[in-house]
Structure 1
């Protein structure tokens, strides 16, 4: 009998992508716990806020916390490991309950009578919205053009602003027993906020990522002597407990509640899309519509599961996307390990009871920091919007205005029919609906003005048909300052496709005479100068980098340059001063600016290390290095301008 054939081994030339690599067990556990710690505070805030708002007791809150953590673990494993070929994006994305759903769920719960009755109505809406998200995922992935930065920025800003009153209510003692004049509450809330700020200012790396958790722990310890920490429920709780489906009763289905939660999931889908794209760029994996669809299916499946297991809507957690960028640990199996840890924690009711013991003022102080940061992210997104177009001003102003109107005067919803009170009774949903609707009205309906329909890019199949003027414009915009590269590249044509054109541009750059190369380098803005001046979109000596197509050319060009320089946001004040000093010394030694492709620069430490290392290189080596960086920048701009 012939021996069984030996299994075929993967050829050694097939390298494993860092996303799919499995770290050693010790590191896998440590990295997974780090994700849990960075995530934990944000994970438990939603059930605490909801329970306080709709009148649940402490034991019910403990069950919500454990169910939330248990389901978070399952959802994170589904997203990072995947189920079959169509569910889960298989990137290091950790799942958590979306803050977007807090205000709408409170509105749904209160409209249904509060308590467990309100909770079962919430779960009915969550289950249906999760199913809609699951089946609509591939279609939503095709609708991203209806959610430009003017919409997503408004929505994210509204989320942060609308949640701040909730944090403020907790900071003064909670909705059940508010006492704004209590100096102890004020001291605990502001003290917790101060601890979070100080930790983020003093520490870097891992310690900075757990600043919120540290603030909650220290704030709670400070509240113990004043009798504000009640631990009796911890002793009464079991060590092990399993969350059972429909623990609070069978779900109730309300059309208005379902529509409200579907709107929430649409907004959440926009957030998830941004997180998936950002993570793909961080770990070096290209993200397409199919990847977005798989991520949204995982969101939908996890949300439906959340409604069954007494939890809430799920999305990718932006805090952990930032942790991936900070640590440069790209393995999706690290997130899977974090999911396993969360499942274990969710099976320990004593852990949920301990979290539920955090005093309201301490929780409010931490929530002030977290929710305000969400608003800042929205403002950062809005910085990409062209506000010289008055339509964008109307979209943002109306969306934020309506959201704050409903948030400050929630009883105004009573003036609406019953079916509309839940949909528009939340500042977040009201502001989001207004922003999405106005964007559709101004930019996607009726007769559009020329500025409303720019693509900003050249379709790849049209590259071979560009006129000479369009060709010179396109290639010239890949570089800073005037250059002969467009003319010499055009002389090598015609080109079969965009890839051939890109290769020809790069070859001409490296084949140019040394004097011409030095002249080209001199036109690039000094990196230190950009840092000192706040890295604006167009620094000294910088010409606008715009696409060779009709439309909103200058606005698109500004966005290209902003993307080139986005890495400067990694630097704090001390690092900026150090980089300015290094750039000045570099120019003095080599006679041309320190040129770095910031999109590939890595974190702040890597950027500074690169600058220090290049300062001691021989002149010939730095001449070549500068050309390589120029080629990288040109390559990224080519990708931006050619679809």
Structure 2
């Protein structure tokens, strides 16, 4: 049999990997513990507002866990075109809390209010399921500047929730001044960090689970973890459809819940993109549609099984990032465990015995990692374009405003409280709207991309430049001949500053061998007198001053001269190095001596890459000069120019 006759074996993506049963159970249980506190908050808040009995509250919690399990399996495993098939665990959205309380109290207290809520939940779930493919077509309106902002906001807005748990939970039980609460929270967090630093493999990936178990054991030993509810709970409790009565349908309630689901769709989109970033799997339009269909189906199912609207739980997105366990079957296992816990009130009571400060300490780590994923996404954003700075800054600022001061929602009309009552909702909508305003609506003048004596030069003006004006503006990116800049001009029009940057790179590497050689020879030697005297070659002075090459003592100057002389003797052209990518003079030397071992062909290619890096930094300076926000940032860094 020949090698060509053997069918190539496809490698399985880590998302689709089925782990051994013991690991699935351990990782799945870790997800349940991380999820549990947030899962039971909504039923508790709603039961208190509607004045439900303790028995009815227990049934709400069981129904919530049972339906969460089904929803998580639906989202992670997938059926037909339902479910994104990523490690996303489903939970009740906090966005729906205030509207549901308003619906329930307007209808009546007790079970009558619940039945009106469930009628609205069922209709809103079906609506979401049907519009999912149309909403997914809007994915072009969710570039990294939007998704990165939303993901960062989700993580940052959840941190106060973790902090509330860390001080003992909301209400009278919470005592910020309690040193014991602080000890439990910080001790759990420190334990999670220590396990991840000391151990490798399986133990490192269950650091959160270990922190929760050990933290709870310590709290129990000191009498701060109570499990009295376990003996009082029944062994089996199965939720049944329409337990509280047949659903009632109110137009106002339905419209309110549909608005909730539209906002939730934005949050789900951000969570899906965040998880895609974490597990390194590309997210497309069909993936968003699948995720939203699962949200809609789970929400409609929740209305039937006495539960509430569902969305992807950001807490568990952070756990995936923290543990680096990417298998969706872990979340499916967590879903199965939740179904079991939802039918075993005693098991739920055990998990409910975990002290709030212990949960808070673990949540601080998990929620912060969600924000880090957002920062990683924002790293791909062109912040030389000041429009993106405005979008991110405004959306994050408003999100933190209502997160830090939640009472501001009382200053707006009741219909607007759903927006101003959540930092995640307000920040997400702000990012989306500002992206539309700055990038999709009206005349697009484009960002400022270059400085000029008369003021700023914008992208639209760059596209309208003559060849001579273009070369005059950008000629300083390269030494000597302007052929690379002239060829970049032929690649107009440029969509944004990143497109303009890429045009210079493509032009550089498209040159002939002779043109490239001539360009390399145009660069001065490192530490040359013509550079240190800061004569006409001010760009080279700025480049080399970063690592102190313009102010060397005699010994260092001689050592650098020895290197550059040997290099020129071997290859016939100067040693070109992007000094800004080396932190110190010693690194510049080390890099240069290593390159002496290369072949001439390899050094030719390496020199071109270094020239491209130098041009990139010069381009950044040029853009910074044109953008006042970026200019302030760059000047604070302190260049020795």
The bucket for the TM-score relative to the shorter chain is 0.5 to 0.7
Contact in 2 for aligned 1:44/1:68 (Cα 8 Å): no
Q: How far apart are residue 208 of structure 1 and its match? A: 3.6
CA 1:170–1:290: 2 relative to 1, 3 Å: closer
C-alpha RMSD of the superposition = 5.6
Determine the structure 2 residue equivalent to 1:6. none
1:446 is the counterpart of 2:442: yes
Structure 1 residues 623 and 38, CA gap change in structure 2 (3 angstroms):
farther
Output the CA distance in 2 between the equivalents of 1:248 and 1:263.
27
Q: Are 2:425 and 1:429 equivalent residues in the alignment?
A: yes
Equivalence for 1:274:
273
In structure 1, what is the Cα distance between the partners aligned to 2:237 and 2:482?
72
Q: How many residues align?
A: 511
In structure 1, which of residues 224, 230, 235 is the aligned counterpart of residue 220 of structure 2? 224
Q: What residue in structure 1 maps to residue 353 of structure 2?
A: 357
1:573 is aligned to: none
SS at match of 1:442: helix
Q: Deviations over 1:262-290 (max 9, x none)?
A: 2432222322441464367x35xx65423
1:245 and 2:241 equivalent?
yes
Cα deviation digits, residues 124-170 of structure 1 (max 9, x gap): 55444433332222222221232333433333343334333433333
The aligned residue for residue 50 of structure 1 is 42
Equivalent residue number for residue 157 of structure 2: 162
Cα distance change, pair 143–311 in 1 and its aligned pair in 2 (3 A): same
Q: What secondary structure sits across from 2:137 in the alignment?
A: coil
Equivalence for 1:139: 134
How many angstroms does 1:18 deviate by?
A: 0.9
Q: Quote the residue 2:260 is aligned against.
A: 261
Cα 1:413–1:374 shift into 2, 3 Å: same
Kindly state the Cα deviation for residue 58 of structure 1 after the two structures are TM-superposed.
6.8
Match of 1:314 in 2: 311
- Tell which deviates more after alignment, 583-592 or 203-212: 583-592
> Matches of 1:41 and 1:130 in 2, distance apart?
27
Per the alignment, residue 32 of structure 2 pairs with 40
Q: Which residue of 2 aligns with 1:82?
A: 78
Contact kept in structure 2, 1:79 and 1:87, CA below 8 Å:
yes
Asked if the contact 2:398/2:426 (under 8 Å) is kept, the reply is: no
2:204–2:323: 8 Å Cα contact kept in structure 1? no
Cα pair distance change 1:73/1:418, threshold 3 Å: closer
Asked which structure has the greater CA Rg, the reply is 2
Match of 1:15 among 9, 15, 25: 9
Change (3 A) 1:222 1:34: closer
- The aligned residue for residue 396 of structure 1 is 393
Q: Are positions 1:109 and 2:106 aligned together?
A: no
2:308 and 2:416 map into 1 onto residues whose CA distance is 25
Q: Is the 8 A contact 1:169 1:178 kept in 2?
A: no
Does the 8 Å CA contact 2:402/2:421 hold for their aligned counterparts?
A: no
Note the alpha carbon deviations across 1:210-236, whole angstroms, 9 max, x for none. Answer: 333333222222222443322222223
Q: Deviations over 1:8-67 (max 9, x none)?
A: xxx9526345149987x8x44244225414422332132233345443777666555554
Structure 2 Cα separation of the partners of residues 189 and 415 of structure 1: 34
Change (3 A) 1:229 1:298: same
Which residue matches 1:130? 125
CA contact (8 A) 1:29 1:337 kept: no
Among 84, 90, 100, the alignment partner of 1:96 is 90
5 Å-filtered alignment, 1:464-503, equals none
One of 169, 172, 175 as aligned partner of 2:167: 172
Alignment CA distance shift 1:339-1:367 (3 Å) = closer
Match of residue 29, structure 1, among 21, 46, 51: 21
Equivalent pair of 1:109/1:119 in contact (CA under 8 Å)? no
Post-superposition offset of 1:347: 3.5
Q: 1:53·1:106 contact (CA, 8 Å) conserved in 2? A: no
SS in 2 for 1:142: helix
Task: With the length of structure 2 as denominator, give the TM-score of the two structures.
Answer: 0.62
Quote how far apart the aligned CAs of 1:452 are: 10
> 1: CA distance between counterparts of 2:375 and 2:278?
20
Gaps spanning 5+ residues in structure 2: where? 450-466, 472-477, 489-505, 524-541, 545-583, 614-641
Tell me: CA distance 1:325–1:194, structure 2 relative to 1, closer, same or farther (3 Å): closer
Is the contact between residue 170 and residue 361 of structure 1 (CA under 8 Å) also seen in structure 2? yes
> Which residue number corresponds to residue 152 of structure 1?
147
Residue 442 of structure 1 deviates from its aligned partner by 3.4
- Superposed CA deviations along residues 221-259 of structure 1, whole A, max 9, x for unmatched, are 222244332222222334444333344555565246414
Contact 1:272 1:296 in 2 (8 A): no
Could you tell me how far apart the structure 2 residues matched to 1:263 and 1:78 are? Answer: 20
In the TM superposition, 1:405-554 aligns within 5 A as: 405=402, 407-410=404-407, 412-451=408-447
Distance 1:209 1:390, change over 3 A: same
Unaligned runs of 5+ in 1: 1-10, 454-468, 474-479, 491-504, 523-538, 542-579, 593-617, 635-643
Q: What are the within-5 Å matches in structure 2 for residues 575-614 of structure 1?
A: 591=595
